[in-house]
Structure 1
């Protein structure tokens, strides 16, 4: 089995090396009117595939641009035009009609057109070098992302992996036991992700497609293997022979792993129902990575354990077993569950209050796709955005376009009436006639607000109101487009998709867990408590990254709407980990209840056996995602933060406090299933009752 996985990994890596093609950096969403309109504008008014951007320059605050600055700009413009990949560069001092100088005379910009749609690495490097050398104390110079791309710090996973190894060492006490979950997870992640990249040889994948697979593949890979290793070690510490323990561990913990993985796979594949191409790719890629992680944990991990034998235990533990001493449950977990069960209503209410307070900011959630103004202040694109806003108004960074289609040929008078009407709309700073041909008029609109401001979203919705078109001569059909409008529409589409996605996740989780736990209340509780964890995670993230609370502590620069993909990614990853922790804890409780322990006693015993592994798994993931908060860029940091917060809440507040309190209150009713449903639901025997039959007969 080990050789087979090594061969599979080598084949996947070889296929990726030989056949992988570059990922598509452009994210498109079919069915959005703003995108269709943008294509029509480019076809009708001579749009092309050339990229463009601005090199912005400014005098020190309180001063104006001088003749010396004009000479420096002229030199910079000529050098920019010579960069490989640049088609043209326009000096605003030489061409006054270009409109590249601010009314106050402090800020200006050079308009740069590229040969291609986006800059190549050599073009970007050349522009960055020129901008850096031109930037002086007397003339600040910066470039927009259209010329240099949006950049940020890269995040290394090494600190997170080292922390995971430390936690596993503390948990298991031996490097052999600690290394197994990590090694299994890395082999599974390597096989799954390289296979995804190899698939680009026959299908085009967007750049965001592997994102969820990377995060979730590592997370569940460690957790699934950890669950089986922990169960096997516990049975060995109870005196079971390794040859008897391993099949039982795979039959019980492995069955729980299988159903936990299937729950996550189905939920991720459910992203396809939204019919958003890049979201479907993201979900299917992540589902494949989880499936591979599950296969590795059920095959490769047992192979490692088989080779290790009793050496999976510490030398001290082996000596105790040889002397006939059995290890009892942990005192900390036993004490905690005893306290919770003594006052279950108190801990239930306290948990709900904590989660409710943390989730409250989610009511103010706003989503966006990011722009130059949401980048860190140290980047050239953010500096360019700020300078443009200072000199020309915030709206210059997020212009809109209105395409008016008339029933017959449009006239200059109708175009002027359109410009006047739109110009008097609340939130519009400037309008300009950009084109008139046949029955179509193109109007360029500069908002008063920036592309990330809520006022811009309101303006786009206002311009789309039917009342504006009805009040115009000819009653044209108005369509609002432009990059800012497209970003707003994609964000709205993603936000609208979340309720259905959450509903699918909750439904599939409920159905599968009915089969696993043979209960109605336990699956219902699992689905509801996941929503609580999700709400708290997103609520805290909104408060920190959107509102800026404690922003300095977490490197928030600037506070801005959350990335539109963030809730989807957080739902996928947090759901997988949440269901893992649910399985780790509650399957043990179910097992002891089936083996004739009282409902209250089963909750206590199952908790004591599973709490340590849940705490270890949670601490590992908190470390992995916490590292992303410290080292990640402006895109990764809020995602990693949301996941780290979500795991803290889900593992320690929900699973290890609220769940035992709720199940204690439920009593035997927690495991009740109607007789007619009991006959229909297949018996998956996750508690291993059939495997214990010889012991029970004795």
Structure 2
């Protein structure tokens, strides 16, 4: 593998203009294909095999509804006051304007139709029911309703709208601050704009090619809106890292006095081999999302795997072509003058001092690392997953304020109603239907249960819980209503199914949570097997797999404490504390696994390289650490900046994901890779690189350290 990649690096350097032109053509073709063929992504997330979704479809077909979107425009008098005649007139005017909006089929004034139930007890809060023609409102309809709501607000009447008719407010997040910070870190690391710009340029070209190609694929495959999410995050992250590793290796060899024409192929053959296997590890792990048998997760995984594949190809071909074009300018002028004078010695005082301290007291640093990670990971035991709703949006958003007003006036459960479909062996009597509603109404945490329809053998009951859609009590209520004992206690022996959007969201979250252990186990096992081949060792791969789980646990634990429990939440804009997004662990696993394996490969392959070339185990760990620590730290700081920008500027959906990734990288790079890893490998000694003889004959030698390559 090392020899083959060395040949790739030599070809890319020799045919640099052809390689650069080829990538420009590929990028242009991908952008053109997206412009010509891309179709809107599907915002609806469906999960096959969930009974609540099947039941919801049955309810909509049997009893109607569901084909058209509906929502509420909520209005309220100031606290301590009641709605008066002037307010009624304002509501009537607003109702008429809403009914005239293109895309709106009906708007119900609660004052003229009190049976619709749009006025809350106490006389302060009410809502206008709005029905739309389509299942999803157009952007023009959403904007028109938002405009009417904004203009209807006065000092005496607050007016807000639910997201089902105005969409979610969201927040625009620019990657520019993160990219600028990345450039600053690279400038500090390399000291020259030429070397600093190459990883960014390579990553952006690779990301642009992969993401636009993914959008172009929507012409042939129905893609969900979340499909490109992981590709965007991971494509940029690994794109910078992979190119950074090769640039760093080439620069180090030049500073040691190596000729540029010799250095470039060798850099691709050594650092490029680590890049290749890091990418293969991540690609297979992401493709492994398909085993969870969830359509949107499979799309996310395959799209991200494609982005990682393109990032790998860019780093192995375009990066050496750009390096060949730059020549010695990848070094600072001072370094070039030093080389011209025959000085090649470089010192790494900070890295050398740190690894010396770790190796002096490895047990102390190992225990300290485990304690830190264990404390940070502890909150994961209380992790709850959910899907966002109006009540989890920022307090400044109209949908959040509408949700809060509805909860104040009608109870928290009005924001997350449930439906129970009872199917009887024979046509039920009115008494059977009444008994069903009465029995459900007596269930703990049910605020209201009333008959919503009866047709043939089926009876529908509308249920309003006492708790909100994100509350644990609502999840427990859904479980309680599904117990067989409820059906057995009813006359007519019906079968009961609980559905409604809240129940569907709960089921999707539970399905995702239950699939996580299998996915984690698969990628940890695969990472172990692949690294046995890469490092020709048993203990190093075992340490890598376990240490990733430690980093993941700490990242999720801190995120639970901040975003779910609200600890120090004000510092990162937590508003309000809520269950974590059900997709968050999966996205964090995919991205953090990729970056963690990058850092592991680049740091530990350097250690193995020196061990294979004759250094004692302890010295090899120290030398490899000194050579790799700076670039790993730079790569980590770049990603912390990119994701930190998402914490500051991202939407309520992006912010916790970006936070978890930023924290995960801090823990993985600086606590696990730079502290725990050298401590463990120092304690292992020569045993770290031991592989039984029978395995040596079976496991192929991929030569990740480039032992077979010619070295000057």
- Superposition TM-score, scaled by structure 1 size: 0.99
Residue by residue over 1:285-335, the C-alpha shift from the partner in whole angstroms, topping out at 9 and shown as x without a partner, is 000000000000000001011111212111110111111111323100000
Instruction: Please give the secondary structure, in 1, of the residue aligned with 2:428.
Output: coil
Residue by residue over 1:42-92, the C-alpha shift from the partner in whole angstroms, topping out at 9 and shown as x without a partner, is 111123411000000011111111111111101110010001110000000
State the partner residue of 2:268.
250
2:403 corresponds, among 380, 385, 390, to 385
Q: Within 5 A, what are the aligned runs for 1:173-572?
A: 173-572=191-590
State the partner residue of 2:168.
150
Residue by residue over 1:459-502, the C-alpha shift from the partner in whole angstroms, topping out at 9 and shown as x without a partner, is 00000000000111111100000000000000000001100110
CA distance in 2, matches of 1:128, 1:11: 39
> Across the two proteins, how many residue pairs are aligned to each other?
694
Runs (5+) with no aligned partner, structure 2: 1-18
Instruction: Please give the secondary structure, in 2, of the residue aligned with 1:691.
Output: coil
Q: Is the 8 A contact 1:257 1:580 kept in 2?
A: yes
1:11 corresponds, among 14, 29, 41, to 29
Deviating beyond 4 angstroms after TM superposition, the runs of 4 or more aligned structure 1 residues are: none
Instruction: Please give the secondary structure, in 2, of the residue aligned with 1:55.
Output: strand
Instruction: Please give the secondary structure, in 2, of the residue aligned with 1:141.
Output: strand
CA distance in 1, matches of 2:103, 2:351: 64
Instruction: Please give the secondary structure, in 2, of the residue aligned with 1:37.
Output: helix
CA distance in 2, matches of 1:54, 1:649: 45
Q: Within 5 A, what are the aligned runs for 1:647-658?
A: 647-658=665-676
Shift of 1:103: 1.1
Instruction: Please give the secondary structure, in 2, of the residue aligned with 1:683.
Output: coil
CA distance in 1, matches of 2:291, 2:706: 36
1:612 equivalenced with 2:630 (yes/no): yes
Residue by residue over 1:413-469, the C-alpha shift from the partner in whole angstroms, topping out at 9 and shown as x without a partner, is 111111111110001000010001111000000000000000000000000000000
State the partner residue of 2:87.
69
Shift of 1:171: 0.4
Q: Within 5 A, what are the aligned runs for 1:671-686?
A: 671-686=689-704
Q: Is the 8 A contact 2:169 2:398 kept in 1?
A: no
1:637 equivalenced with 2:672 (yes/no): no
State the partner residue of 1:108.
126
Q: Which deviates more from structure 2 when the two are superposed, residues 654-663 or residues 309-318?
A: 309-318
State the partner residue of 1:88.
106
Residue by residue over 1:315-361, the C-alpha shift from the partner in whole angstroms, topping out at 9 and shown as x without a partner, is 11011111111132310000000000000000000000000000000
Instruction: Please give the secondary structure, in 1, of the residue aligned with 2:83.
Output: coil
Q: Is the 8 A contact 2:171 2:650 kept in 1?
A: yes
CA distance in 2, matches of 1:81, 1:43: 26
Q: Which deviates more from structure 2 when the two are superposed, residues 39-48 or residues 366-375?
A: 39-48
Shift of 1:96: 1.1
Residue by residue over 1:556-594, the C-alpha shift from the partner in whole angstroms, topping out at 9 and shown as x without a partner, is 000000000000000000000000000110000000000
1:670 equivalenced with 2:667 (yes/no): no
State the partner residue of 1:122.
140
State the partner residue of 1:621.
639
1:160 equivalenced with 2:200 (yes/no): no
CA distance in 2, matches of 1:432, 1:135: 34
CA distance in 1, matches of 2:322, 2:374: 43
Instruction: Please give the secondary structure, in 1, of the residue aligned with 2:284.
Output: helix
State the partner residue of 1:55.
73
Shift of 1:665: 0.2
Instruction: Please give the secondary structure, in 2, of the residue aligned with 1:456.
Output: helix
Q: Is the 8 A contact 1:398 1:447 kept in 2?
A: yes
